[in-house]
Amino acid sequence: MRGSPLIRFILLALALAAAGAGLARVTATRKSVVPPPAAVTGIPALPGKQVPFRLLLSAPAAVVEIDTGKLIRPPADSATISGTLELDPRNPHVGLVVRWKNAAAPGEHRFAKLTLEAPGQATFTHVFDAGGDIDDFLELPFPAAE
Protein backbone atom coordinates (compact mmCIF):
# COMPACT_ATOMS: atom_id res chain seq x y z
CA MET A 1 0.00 0.00 0.00
CA ARG A 2 1.42 3.36 -0.97
CA GLY A 3 1.06 6.73 0.70
CA SER A 4 0.76 7.79 4.26
CA PRO A 5 -2.48 6.83 6.04
CA LEU A 6 -2.54 10.27 7.68
CA ILE A 7 -2.42 12.08 4.32
CA ARG A 8 -5.15 9.82 2.89
CA PHE A 9 -7.30 10.51 5.96
CA ILE A 10 -6.84 14.30 5.61
CA LEU A 11 -7.69 14.19 1.87
CA LEU A 12 -10.77 12.06 2.56
CA ALA A 13 -11.91 14.45 5.32
CA LEU A 14 -11.47 17.46 2.98
CA ALA A 15 -13.44 15.71 0.21
CA LEU A 16 -16.28 14.84 2.61
CA ALA A 17 -16.34 18.41 3.97
CA ALA A 18 -16.53 19.83 0.42
CA ALA A 19 -19.35 17.43 -0.48
CA GLY A 20 -21.21 18.33 2.72
CA ALA A 21 -20.84 22.05 2.03
CA GLY A 22 -22.13 21.56 -1.51
CA LEU A 23 -25.16 19.59 -0.28
CA ALA A 24 -25.87 22.18 2.42
CA ARG A 25 -25.84 24.93 -0.19
CA VAL A 26 -28.08 23.04 -2.62
CA THR A 27 -30.67 22.01 -0.02
CA ALA A 28 -30.76 25.28 1.94
CA THR A 29 -33.92 27.39 1.71
CA ARG A 30 -33.33 30.60 -0.12
CA LYS A 31 -34.56 33.99 0.99
CA SER A 32 -36.00 35.81 -1.97
CA VAL A 33 -34.79 39.33 -2.57
CA VAL A 34 -37.82 40.19 -4.68
CA PRO A 35 -41.10 40.10 -2.74
CA PRO A 36 -43.82 37.87 -4.21
CA PRO A 37 -46.28 39.72 -6.44
CA ALA A 38 -49.14 41.27 -4.53
CA ALA A 39 -52.64 40.01 -5.15
CA VAL A 40 -54.53 42.17 -7.59
CA THR A 41 -57.29 44.03 -5.82
CA GLY A 42 -60.77 43.71 -7.22
CA ILE A 43 -60.40 40.00 -8.05
CA PRO A 44 -62.07 37.81 -5.41
CA ALA A 45 -60.00 35.15 -3.66
CA LEU A 46 -62.83 32.68 -4.19
CA PRO A 47 -64.19 31.65 -7.52
CA GLY A 48 -67.27 33.67 -8.29
CA LYS A 49 -70.63 32.08 -8.70
CA GLN A 50 -70.20 32.21 -12.46
CA VAL A 51 -67.20 30.20 -13.72
CA PRO A 52 -66.47 29.77 -17.44
CA PHE A 53 -65.97 26.14 -18.49
CA ARG A 54 -65.00 24.10 -21.52
CA LEU A 55 -65.79 20.38 -21.95
CA LEU A 56 -64.04 18.35 -24.63
CA LEU A 57 -65.60 14.97 -25.51
CA SER A 58 -63.76 12.09 -27.17
CA ALA A 59 -66.86 10.85 -29.05
CA PRO A 60 -70.34 12.10 -29.95
CA ALA A 61 -72.66 12.17 -26.92
CA ALA A 62 -76.40 11.66 -26.70
CA VAL A 63 -76.78 13.31 -23.27
CA VAL A 64 -74.48 15.58 -21.23
CA GLU A 65 -75.43 16.68 -17.70
CA ILE A 66 -73.32 18.92 -15.49
CA ASP A 67 -74.43 19.20 -11.86
CA THR A 68 -72.96 21.86 -9.54
CA GLY A 69 -75.99 21.99 -7.30
CA LYS A 70 -77.86 23.36 -10.27
CA LEU A 71 -78.29 20.83 -13.09
CA ILE A 72 -77.59 22.00 -16.63
CA ARG A 73 -77.98 20.02 -19.84
CA PRO A 74 -75.96 21.71 -22.58
CA PRO A 75 -76.60 20.67 -26.17
CA ALA A 76 -74.44 17.65 -27.01
CA ASP A 77 -74.25 18.30 -30.75
CA SER A 78 -70.54 19.26 -30.68
CA ALA A 79 -67.31 17.64 -29.45
CA THR A 80 -66.56 20.83 -27.50
CA ILE A 81 -69.10 22.33 -25.11
CA SER A 82 -68.53 25.66 -23.38
CA GLY A 83 -70.48 28.00 -21.19
CA THR A 84 -70.72 29.17 -17.60
CA LEU A 85 -71.24 27.10 -14.45
CA GLU A 86 -72.76 28.40 -11.25
CA LEU A 87 -70.60 27.09 -8.37
CA ASP A 88 -71.38 27.13 -4.67
CA PRO A 89 -68.36 29.00 -3.16
CA ARG A 90 -68.75 27.11 0.15
CA ASN A 91 -68.77 23.66 -1.49
CA PRO A 92 -67.41 23.81 -5.06
CA HIS A 93 -68.09 20.51 -6.82
CA VAL A 94 -69.04 19.19 -10.25
CA GLY A 95 -70.96 16.07 -11.19
CA LEU A 96 -70.70 14.93 -14.80
CA VAL A 97 -72.86 12.45 -16.70
CA VAL A 98 -72.13 11.65 -20.34
CA ARG A 99 -74.18 9.09 -22.26
CA TRP A 100 -72.51 8.26 -25.58
CA LYS A 101 -74.45 7.96 -28.85
CA ASN A 102 -72.64 4.74 -29.76
CA ALA A 103 -71.45 2.06 -27.34
CA ALA A 104 -67.70 1.87 -26.82
CA ALA A 105 -65.83 -1.02 -28.43
CA PRO A 106 -64.42 -3.65 -26.05
CA GLY A 107 -61.32 -2.22 -24.36
CA GLU A 108 -61.99 1.31 -25.61
CA HIS A 109 -61.93 4.13 -23.08
CA ARG A 110 -63.75 7.37 -23.68
CA PHE A 111 -63.00 10.66 -21.94
CA ALA A 112 -64.38 14.10 -21.19
CA LYS A 113 -61.86 16.85 -20.40
CA LEU A 114 -63.27 19.62 -18.18
CA THR A 115 -61.46 22.98 -17.96
CA LEU A 116 -62.56 25.65 -15.45
CA GLU A 117 -61.27 29.23 -15.52
CA ALA A 118 -62.35 30.68 -12.17
CA PRO A 119 -61.52 34.37 -11.60
CA GLY A 120 -58.49 34.80 -9.35
CA GLN A 121 -57.56 31.08 -9.62
CA ALA A 122 -55.25 29.07 -11.81
CA THR A 123 -56.94 27.27 -14.70
CA PHE A 124 -58.21 23.89 -13.48
CA THR A 125 -58.34 20.86 -15.78
CA HIS A 126 -59.64 17.35 -15.03
CA VAL A 127 -60.10 14.36 -17.32
CA PHE A 128 -62.99 12.00 -16.65
CA ASP A 129 -62.59 8.63 -18.37
CA ALA A 130 -64.48 5.35 -18.44
CA GLY A 131 -64.89 2.19 -20.45
CA GLY A 132 -68.52 3.16 -21.11
CA ASP A 133 -70.74 6.05 -20.07
CA ILE A 134 -69.25 8.60 -17.68
CA ASP A 135 -71.00 9.21 -14.36
CA ASP A 136 -68.55 10.87 -11.96
CA PHE A 137 -68.29 13.48 -9.20
CA LEU A 138 -65.40 15.86 -8.48
CA GLU A 139 -64.72 18.15 -5.52
CA LEU A 140 -62.94 21.26 -6.77
CA PRO A 141 -59.72 22.46 -5.11
CA PHE A 142 -60.85 26.07 -4.75
CA PRO A 143 -60.61 27.55 -1.23
CA ALA A 144 -63.75 27.40 0.86
CA ALA A 145 -65.64 30.56 1.79
CA GLU A 146 -65.12 31.84 5.30
Tens of pLDDT, residues 45-85? 444 478 899 999 998 999 999 998 888 898 888 888 999 98
What sections of 28-101 are H helices per DSSP? none
| pLDDT score at 40 | 45
| pLDDT score at 36 | 53
Q: Is residue 64 part of a domain?
A: yes
| pLDDT score at 145 | 52
Q: Is residue 44 part of a domain?
A: no
| pLDDT score at 17 | 92
| pLDDT score at 35 | 55
| pLDDT score at 37 | 56
Under the banding of pLDDT at 50, 70 and 90, the label for residue 1 is low
**Residue 73 contacts residue 115 (beta carbons within 8 Å):** no
Q: Is residue 94 part of a domain?
A: yes
Residue 138 pLDDT greater than 70, yes or no: yes
Residue 93 pLDDT greater than 50, yes or no: yes
Q: Is residue 10 part of a domain?
A: no
Across 86-115, average pLDDT: 88
Tens of pLDDT, residues 30-52? 665 555 554 444 434 444 478 89
135 closest CA partner among 82, 92, 94, 103: 94
Across 91-100, average pLDDT: 90
Q: Is residue 54 part of a domain?
A: yes
| pLDDT score at 39 | 47
Q: Is residue 4 part of a domain?
A: no
Q: How many domains does the chain have?
A: 1
Residue 84 belongs to domain spanning: 50-139
Q: Is residue 22 part of a domain?
A: no
**Residue 96 contacts residue 140 (beta carbons within 8 Å):** no
Q: Which DSSP symbol is given to 96?
A: E
| pLDDT score at 41 | 41
